[in-house]
Structure 1
Amino acid sequence: MANRLRGATSPYLLQHADNPVHWWEWGEDAFVEARDRNVPVLLSVGYAACHWCHVMAHESFEDEATAAYMNEHFVNVKVDREERPDVDAVYMAATQAMTGQGGWPMTCVLDHEGAPFFAGTYFPDRPRHGSPSFGQVLEALVEAWRDRGDDVRRSADRVRAHLQAQGALEAGTVGAETLADAVRALAREHDPEHGGFGGAPKFPPSMVLEFLLRHELLVSRRSPGRAPRPAETGTLARTMLDAACVAMARGGIYDQVGGGFARYSVDAGWVVPHFEKMLYDNAQLLGVYARWGGNRIAEETADFLLRELRTAEGGFASALDADSEGVEGRFYAWTPTQLRAALGDEDGTWAAGVFTVTEAGTFEHGSSTLQLRQDPDDLHRLEDVKRRLLAAREERIRPARDDKVVAAWNGLAVSGLCAAGTLLEKPEYVDAATRAAELLVEVHLVDGRLRRVSRDGVVGRHDAVLEDHGCVAQGFLDLLQATGDARWLAHARVLLDDALDRFRADDGGFHDTAVDAETLVARPREIGDNASPSGQSAMVQALATYAALTGSGAHRTAAEETLSVLATLAERAPRFAGHALAAAEAMLEGPEEVAVVGRPGPERDALARAARRRPGAVVLVAEPGRTDVPLLEGRVEVDGRPAAYVCRDLVCERPVTDPADLPR
């Protein structure tokens, strides 16, 4: 019998719709039920591609006896963290405060006002490795609620006070020395043997790589009227950037057959991934590799997005699962025997050597992830083998796809596809970005306000959070630069001004939820980047870009004020401030604004290519006489030839007609 999740829009919630647990969706009705029955609320948070969420579901939530105990003693609420990042953020903060760690699945037990008095992550179905079973945990919680109510209330009150204790953030300045110090701090955490930062597990540092890319190129530039930047940090940045980009592209975290990156590597050497593939990772890495010059990786990643994540409506699905047939990685791993079966003995043996597939295996049960530690001599043969392996892999049972469309991550995808489309001169990628952006406007914008998710072209009921406004606005502004279509400027303005009106904090930054959003036990406010940009840093980037295109002082000031509240984080933990640091690099340059004006043709194309290679620059390409974007006003051809106008800080250089003359 289906529970209350049958009508949900989230694929993750629908995975649990047939559980014997009487799940509720998050909402006041669940808390009313808990008060009426005088039982606590058990909150379970996860997401569709989460491997350990599936494990706990199979072990506990599908077990009739466990479910019966949960139904008798709790009101059980299931939340998709990707659909409700605000709920997830509040209770993840509580989980980390109470246990010192976090992750998914996340289990919190709440009082009738939503304050947690217990928190944890995965619990096994029987005691294992010093961890109690889920059943033992439930029994202890029931006993505490029944017999030690005063202790429960005190614990909930302490956690509530901790969650509500956030005050105004201390403002600072992110200047040239801050950026140089951030590079030095990153160098201390850099893994010189394997690339990337820290040890296992190792995540793709997408936003940090974007910062390093901009820093190295801007340090090497001699901008007019600006003091030289320290060459030492430019060299450090390039070393770390190259090491990570090469190592990830050659490792098992990258899908050597089908393109795209897995969510993270379980080891320090990028060999064995946690096989789920997330839209937000691939959208960001697509842009990084396109700007870095990793054209093959950028093209294969873009093709992966279009082939495997694009929905029928033109948006992009959230993720592919790590599991197929109930086994993690089965879809992606190979044995030498399987390679020979797919390719024949000669090519199969050759492929095993090229992709480091051994008889012992680098993964589980004698299978191996595919790595390309060095390019073979015969690249044509490599491409033929990859094509045939992709076709053979399509005969396997595919991992499930979480096909909900998340606004923020689609904004990131629009930005990544615009970068790849313009830099690789692949107009089909820009076309795909345009269709995704149109879906966001047509479906996600409801009565002038953005909604978080849609599925099958039907918008969900949950309002957008700050990261949605920032990432989608930036996507629209990148699409304006890729296409010259001024409607995207107007759409971005709607989102930015709505955020300024409803999300602004007293200290100049932002809250993650609007002033009129649902009231939770605390109002979430994340300042650090995680796998995707925080709402704060996404807004810095979008506000600064909008100001560069329009000359709006109000939007520029808002960007500077928001960046100032991130200054302490940028100084102390740059690994979690990559997006803000990248925005700061561009803002330190003005940011640089380039208008390429002229009739379409090879001359204008050459100027556009040169301009788009300038890191962090805002670049707009258009015909003369345009007045619908302020950056284009008054821009004309020079002596009948297309011209590039380079400006920063309200000061413009002499327009040039030769790409070689663009000021360095």
Structure 2
Amino acid sequence: MTLPAQNLLAEEASPYLQQHSGNPVYWRPWSPAALAEAKALERPILLSVGYAACHWCHVMAHESFENDDVAAVMNRLFVNIKVDREERPDIDQIYMAALSSMGEQGGWPLTMFLTPDGKPFWGGTYFPREARYGRPGFVQVLEAVDKAWREKRQGVRQSADGLTAHVEARLASIHRKAVLDRDTLTKLTNGIDGMIDRDLGGLRGAPKFPNAPFMQSLWLSWLRDGTASHRDAVLLSLEKMLAGGIYDHIGGGLSRYSTDAEWLVPHFEKMLYDNAQLVRLCNWAYAATDNELFRLRIEETVTWLLREMRVESGAFAASLDADSQGEEGLFYTWTRDEIEAALGDESSLFFNHFPLSSPHGWEGKPIIHQTETQQPQSVAHREQLVPLREKLLAAREQRIRPGRDGKALTDWNGLMIAALAEAGRSLGRADWIEAAEAAFAAIAGAGRDSRLPHSMLGAKKLFPALSSDYAAMANAAVSLFEATGRSSYAHRASQFLEQLDLWHQDSDKTGYYLTASDSTDVPIRIRGDVDEAIPSATGQIIEAMVRLSSLSGDLDLWEKAWTVAEHAAGRAEHQPYGQAGIVNACALALEPLKLVIVDNLPKPQLVPVTNRNPDPRRVDIVVPVGAATNLPMLPGGVLPPTGKPGAWLCTGQVCLPVITDAEELERRLRRG
């Protein structure tokens, strides 16, 4: 079969694919029909993977995909397939692993050449239209690949078979389970500790990403073992990135990464997942330090989220673009004259707290940031600075805005729902919890036949969901249960895990695949063990099982979580990178914490202590004094007495004696 000789992206739900629907390239979405066309024509596949907020994706599109001459070569030699990596992270991970196995640096746009049956044999990332940056021109690349396919086809196929087998062994294989103990976790965490930049925070070198899963590993190490250097590394990293240009000091929210080691010059796209993880980390940091910086940055980031990222359903959009009017960062950067025009005589006060910098190599307008001394000063003078930021925000709103990728991704929404629910509890913001509930209802209500979609944009929905979707939503449901006390959320979490078992569990019941068993268009069914910017699907699954088993007292579910964790840790030992999500989940499985609080809810004494001391290892269950039904089980099948306030803190199957004094509970929950 052959598809029409035209671009077929116009009806796709993905805004990224729609961005390419006007290209002269005969793009096809990833589908069985496109793969069948390549086989029928015996023509290799040119696979291009990117996402809507990706700056270099836009550059390659403008240079090559919008060019009639380049498109003519692509259309003549290849079946051209475009993939939104956010819609199809399973496809992206397979071919990114192939590129990495070839010894190449990964990134987006991902440009891979496949045999007609979808096996990778060569690729790269961004290719300029004309040779420069030490890279060949794109047409050169296309013609060289075509020549190899025509003249050395058997060798190309053999190479593709070997590379595919290697990727399958890396992403889908089974290894012997590992021993889970404190020594194993300490060894893995010390490996992360060895990569930390002690002066600038984050990992050493540039570019610098927030690396939230790594930060969580260090935070859990401090909570578990009292390793103060690990806590300090997280606090330093947060302070440095929140002072840098990577943080939006006018509108709130974090950009995806900085191009330099000082957190100054970002790629200006804002991703939902980065900001969800920032809120969680800042929530823990604020509880541990009482540093108002972290509370203010949470408030600013959530304000940005609710102002700019909420879609009509109540769920949250995926991302904001880096570019506007064809220039990266134009929306977010300022000249001194622009700030003085907006603030008048007050501009000197602003510049006392926020300098502008144009570092070497940066071609845009200057970037707002803060120095190490200015950051705490701006917190102390917040009341004076808020009106100035509001004036600048109002002036910025008059500019042409960057594009928004309005699709709601289920797993990314799950991360943000959990973050909002947790921060809402800690900071007493019922409106944040309500926003989290609305987003949860939008995602959960979009299902079909009890199955979640992976993505939705208006009425368009992409089925089936990935294992990360069910896990993230299960964790979100547990966080909403903690925030509201509504048992319906615990029930929904259980339902999501049932769908995981039904569609994603492997044959020996030791783990889960990223894709569903009825997904027919994946060349390799991978496990989802590797972290990307968010924790791996496997890590999120283990976390969801541990948390729900703690909440429900279901020992069978805890045993299942332990089995999955052991086998995941065994596979992680054979992975070169991206295992922090599994390490963190195994830490939760090793020492799950459960806190049952009986309190007089009209005038609670113990609940506020609990709320202001969040702990990612702990599940909290609040019971009103005098309650007689729906009581949570303590270990050993014991029901807590509800005649008067009390708190039971349990690790695994062992509980401390009941705590009735608020100050004593504070001492127990607060790590020094």
Taking structure 1 as the reference length, the TM-score comes to 0.92
In structure 1, the partner of 2:429 is: 426
Secondary structure at the residue paired with 1:107?
strand
Q: 1:427 Cα shift? A: 0.6
Whether the 8 Å CA contact 2:331–2:396 is kept in 1: the answer is yes
Distance of 1:611 and 1:211 partners within structure 2: 21
In structure 2, the partner of 1:108 is: 112
Distance of 1:436 and 1:472 partners within structure 2: 11
Secondary structure at the residue paired with 2:48?
strand
Corresponding residue pairs, total: 645
Distance of 2:399 and 2:656 partners within structure 1: 58
| Alignment deviations for residues 354-402 of structure 1 (CA, whole Å, 9 cap, x no partner) | 2121588894345223335322463322222111111111111111000
In structure 2, the partner of 1:127 is: 131
Residues 325 and 612 of structure 1: CA distance in aligned 2, closer, same or farther (over 3 Å): same
Secondary structure at the residue paired with 2:367?
coil
In structure 2, the partner of 1:393 is: 396
Distance of 1:328 and 1:62 partners within structure 2: 19
Distance of 1:614 and 1:459 partners within structure 2: 38
Q: 1:507 Cα shift? A: 7.3
Secondary structure at the residue paired with 2:437?
helix
Instruction: Answer yes or no: is 1:462 the counterpart of 2:467.
Output: no
In structure 1, the partner of 2:180 is: 174
Q: 1:262 Cα shift? A: 0.5
Distance of 2:20 and 2:401 partners within structure 1: 20
Whether the 8 Å CA contact 1:625–1:635 is kept in 2: the answer is no
Whether the 8 Å CA contact 1:502–1:514 is kept in 2: the answer is yes
Whether the 8 Å CA contact 2:627–2:642 is kept in 1: the answer is no
Paired residues for 1:497-646 under 5 Å: 497-505=498-506, 506=508, 508-567=510-569, 576-589=578-591, 591-604=592-605, 606-607=607-608, 609=610, 612-623=613-624, 624-625=626-627, 627-628=629-630, 630-631=632-633, 634-638=639-643, 641-646=644-649
Secondary structure at the residue paired with 2:169?
coil
Instruction: Answer yes or no: is 1:408 the counterpart of 2:411.
Output: yes
Residues 637 and 286 of structure 1: CA distance in aligned 2, closer, same or farther (over 3 Å): same
Whether the 8 Å CA contact 1:200–1:266 is kept in 2: the answer is yes
Paired residues for 1:27-176 under 5 Å: 27-166=31-170, 167-176=173-182
In structure 2, the partner of 1:201 is: 207
Whether the 8 Å CA contact 1:360–1:366 is kept in 2: the answer is no
Residues 582 and 155 of structure 1: CA distance in aligned 2, closer, same or farther (over 3 Å): closer
Q: 1:631 Cα shift? A: 4.3
Q: Which consecutive residues of structure 2, in runs of 5 or more, have no partner in the other structure?
A: 287-293
Residues 7 and 517 of structure 1: CA distance in aligned 2, closer, same or farther (over 3 Å): same
| Root mean square deviation, CA, Å | 2.3
In structure 2, the partner of 1:319 is: 319
In structure 2, the partner of 1:369 is: 368
Distance of 2:41 and 2:187 partners within structure 1: 56
Residues 611 and 358 of structure 1: CA distance in aligned 2, closer, same or farther (over 3 Å): closer
Taking structure 2 as the reference length, the TM-score comes to 0.91
Whether the 8 Å CA contact 1:549–1:629 is kept in 2: the answer is no
Whether the 8 Å CA contact 2:650–2:656 is kept in 1: the answer is yes
| Alignment deviations for residues 400-420 of structure 1 (CA, whole Å, 9 cap, x no partner) | 000100000000001100111
Whether the 8 Å CA contact 2:284–2:615 is kept in 1: the answer is no
Secondary structure at the residue paired with 1:117?
strand
Whether the 8 Å CA contact 1:336–1:359 is kept in 2: the answer is no
Q: 1:247 Cα shift? A: 0.8
Which one of the candidate residues 267, 272, 279 is aligned to 1:274?
A: 267
Secondary structure at the residue paired with 2:122?
strand
Residues 615 and 107 of structure 1: CA distance in aligned 2, closer, same or farther (over 3 Å): closer
Q: 1:14 Cα shift? A: 0.4
Distance of 1:502 and 1:359 partners within structure 2: 51
Instruction: Answer yes or no: is 1:308 the counterpart of 2:308.
Output: yes
Distance of 2:210 and 2:311 partners within structure 1: 25
In structure 1, the partner of 2:341 is: 341
Corresponding letter in the other structure for 1:416? A
In structure 1, the partner of 2:350 is: 351
Q: 1:263 Cα shift? A: 0.5
Whether the 8 Å CA contact 1:339–1:352 is kept in 2: the answer is no
Q: Which consecutive residues of structure 1, in runs of 5 or more, have no partner in the other structure?
A: 221-233
Q: 1:353 Cα shift? A: 3.6
Distance of 1:17 and 1:5 partners within structure 2: 5
Q: 1:610 Cα shift? A: 5.6
| Alignment deviations for residues 212-262 of structure 1 (CA, whole Å, 9 cap, x no partner) | 333323434xxxxxxxxxxxxx11112211111111111111111111111
Residues 574 and 446 of structure 1: CA distance in aligned 2, closer, same or farther (over 3 Å): same
In structure 1, the partner of 2:254 is: 261
Residues 59 and 358 of structure 1: CA distance in aligned 2, closer, same or farther (over 3 Å): closer
Secondary structure at the residue paired with 1:454?
strand
In structure 2, the partner of 1:244 is: 237
Whether the 8 Å CA contact 1:106–1:122 is kept in 2: the answer is yes
Secondary structure at the residue paired with 2:183?
helix
Instruction: Answer yes or no: is 1:215 the counterpart of 2:227.
Output: no
Corresponding letter in the other structure for 1:634? L
Residues 110 and 183 of structure 1: CA distance in aligned 2, closer, same or farther (over 3 Å): closer
Distance of 1:396 and 1:304 partners within structure 2: 17
Distance of 1:2 and 1:149 partners within structure 2: 27
Which one of the candidate residues 228, 236, 252 is aligned to 1:235?
A: 228
Whether the 8 Å CA contact 2:168–2:526 is kept in 1: the answer is no
| Alignment deviations for residues 441-481 of structure 1 (CA, whole Å, 9 cap, x no partner) | 111x210112100112x252331112111111101111111
Distance of 1:606 and 1:551 partners within structure 2: 21
Residues 627 and 515 of structure 1: CA distance in aligned 2, closer, same or farther (over 3 Å): farther
Q: 1:432 Cα shift? A: 0.5
Secondary structure at the residue paired with 1:385?
helix
Secondary structure at the residue paired with 1:164?
helix
Distance of 2:174 and 2:594 partners within structure 1: 33
Residues 574 and 235 of structure 1: CA distance in aligned 2, closer, same or farther (over 3 Å): farther
In structure 2, the partner of 1:481 is: 482
| Alignment deviations for residues 504-543 of structure 1 (CA, whole Å, 9 cap, x no partner) | 2337222212233225222222323221011110011100
Q: 1:50 Cα shift? A: 0.5
Whether the 8 Å CA contact 2:324–2:401 is kept in 1: the answer is yes
Instruction: Answer yes or no: is 1:287 the counterpart of 2:252.
Output: no
Whether the 8 Å CA contact 1:486–1:629 is kept in 2: the answer is no
Q: 1:54 Cα shift? A: 0.4
| Alignment deviations for residues 89-111 of structure 1 (CA, whole Å, 9 cap, x no partner) | 11111121124221111111222
Distance of 2:553 and 2:612 partners within structure 1: 19
Distance of 1:2 and 1:279 partners within structure 2: 33
Secondary structure at the residue paired with 1:24?
strand
Q: 1:347 Cα shift? A: 2.1
Whether the 8 Å CA contact 2:314–2:438 is kept in 1: the answer is yes
| Alignment deviations for residues 122-146 of structure 1 (CA, whole Å, 9 cap, x no partner) | 1101001321111111111222222
Distance of 2:337 and 2:229 partners within structure 1: 43
Whether the 8 Å CA contact 1:336–1:348 is kept in 2: the answer is no
Corresponding letter in the other structure for 2:639? G
Distance of 1:461 and 1:649 partners within structure 2: 39
Whether the 8 Å CA contact 1:551–1:631 is kept in 2: the answer is yes
Q: 1:584 Cα shift? A: 3.4
Distance of 1:409 and 1:246 partners within structure 2: 24
Secondary structure at the residue paired with 1:460?
strand
| Alignment deviations for residues 243-296 of structure 1 (CA, whole Å, 9 cap, x no partner) | 111111111111111111110111111111111110011011111101210211
Q: 1:609 Cα shift? A: 3.3
Q: 1:13 Cα shift? A: 0.4
Distance of 2:351 and 2:596 partners within structure 1: 50
Whether the 8 Å CA contact 2:253–2:301 is kept in 1: the answer is yes
Distance of 2:119 and 2:578 partners within structure 1: 28
